Amino acid sequence: MSPKYARSDRTILVVDDDRSVVEVLHKTLSKHGYEVLQAATSEPAIAAIREDRAPVDLLIVDGVMPNVSGPELADILLFVRPEMKVLFITGLDGLAIDLAFGQHCEYVQKPFTMRSLIAKVGEMLGEAIASPEAQISGDLK
């Protein structure tokens, strides 16, 4: 980890059926000091939540996935970890994801920049970006 970034004691679970998205988010979030758990489908995500005794502070989940949608998975995981915050990454607009989740929710619409994602994560976890001037590169489409 670069000395530019502070270490966070926060854990984030990233779930997306696109492995490249999971890898990019894992790399970026880890670089910013977060502990990152990752899953490509609902089964390993549920297992990670049940097996990991440490708190998972934030779920970052794709809004549209095969078999179990992001909102459905979020509902399942929130049953086990009700204190966990949820951030959807999706091509859907805000109203569509709110309706799918059944309540207002936080989301970042695809395509997004890593800078906007890190800013949203920091906002949701009540943390400032450790180094606003640091290079946060890459876009996710």
Residues 38-58 pLDDT 10s: 999 999 999 999 886 778 999
Question: Does the reported pTM lie above 0.75?
Answer: yes
Residues 89-130 pLDDT 10s: 988 777 787 787 888 889 999 899 999 999 999 999 998 654
Q: Are 4 and 15 in contact (CB under 8 A)?
A: no
102: left (phi over 0), alpha (psi -120 to 50) or beta: left
What pLDDT, on a 0 to 100 scale, did the predictor assign at position 125? 95
